[in-house]
Amino acid sequence: MEATELVSELEVKEANSQAARPYIVQGVVVALFFAVICVLKPFCNVLDIIGLPSRSCFITVLFASLVTAVTVTTLIMGVCWSCTRCVPSQPET
Protein backbone atom coordinates (compact mmCIF):
# COMPACT_ATOMS: atom_id res chain seq x y z
CA MET A 1 0.00 0.00 0.00
CA GLU A 2 1.42 3.33 -0.96
CA ALA A 3 1.81 6.00 1.69
CA THR A 4 -0.66 8.68 0.73
CA GLU A 5 -2.13 11.57 2.64
CA LEU A 6 -5.29 9.55 3.32
CA VAL A 7 -3.25 6.71 4.86
CA SER A 8 -1.38 9.20 7.04
CA GLU A 9 -4.65 10.71 8.26
CA LEU A 10 -6.00 7.24 9.00
CA GLU A 11 -2.88 6.38 11.03
CA VAL A 12 -3.25 9.59 13.07
CA LYS A 13 -6.94 8.86 13.76
CA GLU A 14 -6.13 5.31 14.83
CA ALA A 15 -3.32 6.48 17.12
CA ASN A 16 -5.66 9.02 18.75
CA SER A 17 -8.37 6.43 19.30
CA GLN A 18 -5.90 4.02 20.97
CA ALA A 19 -4.16 6.62 23.18
CA ALA A 20 -6.27 5.96 26.28
CA ARG A 21 -5.95 2.17 26.19
CA PRO A 22 -2.93 1.83 28.57
CA TYR A 23 -4.59 4.10 31.13
CA ILE A 24 -7.80 2.10 30.98
CA VAL A 25 -5.89 -1.15 31.55
CA GLN A 26 -4.03 0.37 34.51
CA GLY A 27 -7.32 1.56 35.99
CA VAL A 28 -8.82 -1.90 35.60
CA VAL A 29 -5.82 -3.52 37.33
CA VAL A 30 -6.13 -1.12 40.27
CA ALA A 31 -9.90 -1.65 40.51
CA LEU A 32 -9.48 -5.43 40.38
CA PHE A 33 -6.74 -5.21 43.02
CA PHE A 34 -9.03 -3.39 45.46
CA ALA A 35 -11.97 -5.66 44.61
CA VAL A 36 -9.96 -8.78 45.46
CA ILE A 37 -8.80 -7.14 48.71
CA CYS A 38 -12.44 -6.53 49.63
CA VAL A 39 -13.27 -10.15 48.87
CA LEU A 40 -10.34 -11.66 50.80
CA LYS A 41 -10.28 -9.30 53.82
CA PRO A 42 -13.02 -11.21 55.71
CA PHE A 43 -10.69 -14.22 55.60
CA CYS A 44 -8.59 -12.51 58.30
CA ASN A 45 -11.65 -12.26 60.55
CA VAL A 46 -12.33 -15.97 60.08
CA LEU A 47 -8.80 -16.73 61.25
CA ASP A 48 -9.44 -14.63 64.38
CA ILE A 49 -12.66 -16.52 65.11
CA ILE A 50 -10.96 -19.89 64.70
CA GLY A 51 -8.11 -18.78 66.93
CA LEU A 52 -5.26 -18.99 64.43
CA PRO A 53 -2.69 -16.20 64.31
CA SER A 54 -3.73 -13.58 61.78
CA ARG A 55 -1.07 -10.90 62.22
CA SER A 56 0.35 -11.31 58.73
CA CYS A 57 -3.01 -12.04 57.15
CA PHE A 58 -3.39 -8.58 55.64
CA ILE A 59 0.03 -8.84 53.98
CA THR A 60 -1.01 -12.18 52.54
CA VAL A 61 -4.26 -10.65 51.28
CA LEU A 62 -2.36 -7.77 49.66
CA PHE A 63 0.07 -10.10 47.92
CA ALA A 64 -2.68 -12.47 46.77
CA SER A 65 -4.70 -9.52 45.46
CA LEU A 66 -1.75 -8.16 43.52
CA VAL A 67 -0.94 -11.51 41.95
CA THR A 68 -4.60 -12.17 41.12
CA ALA A 69 -5.15 -8.73 39.58
CA VAL A 70 -2.06 -8.93 37.38
CA THR A 71 -2.68 -12.55 36.37
CA VAL A 72 -6.35 -12.10 35.46
CA THR A 73 -5.69 -8.89 33.55
CA THR A 74 -2.80 -10.45 31.64
CA LEU A 75 -4.90 -13.52 30.82
CA ILE A 76 -7.82 -11.47 29.52
CA MET A 77 -5.51 -9.22 27.49
CA GLY A 78 -3.79 -12.26 26.01
CA VAL A 79 -7.05 -13.90 25.02
CA CYS A 80 -8.36 -10.66 23.47
CA TRP A 81 -5.08 -10.10 21.65
CA SER A 82 -4.96 -13.62 20.26
CA CYS A 83 -8.58 -13.48 19.10
CA THR A 84 -8.24 -10.15 17.29
CA ARG A 85 -5.15 -10.97 15.22
CA CYS A 86 -5.69 -12.30 11.75
CA VAL A 87 -3.99 -15.43 10.55
CA PRO A 88 -1.53 -14.66 7.75
CA SER A 89 -2.41 -16.30 4.49
CA GLN A 90 -0.19 -19.17 3.44
CA PRO A 91 1.42 -18.94 0.02
CA GLU A 92 0.33 -21.58 -2.41
CA THR A 93 2.96 -24.15 -3.26
Distance between CA 72 and CA 66 in Å, rounded?
A: 10
> Is residue 48 in a domain?
yes
- 76 in a structural domain: no
pLDDT tens track for 13-37:
877 777 788 888 899 999 999 999 9
Q: Please tell me the total count of domains within the chain.
A: 1
Q: How far apart are CA 86 and CA 93, in angstroms?
A: 21
Residues 45-85 pLDDT 10s? 887 788 777 678 888 888 999 999 999 999 998 888 888 77
Instruction: Identify whether 78 is part of a domain.
Output: no
> What residues make up the domain containing 61?
18-67
Residue 32 lies in a domain: yes
The 3-state DSSP class for residue 31 equals: helix
| pTM score, whole prediction | 0.67
User: Is residue 5 in a domain?
Assistant: no
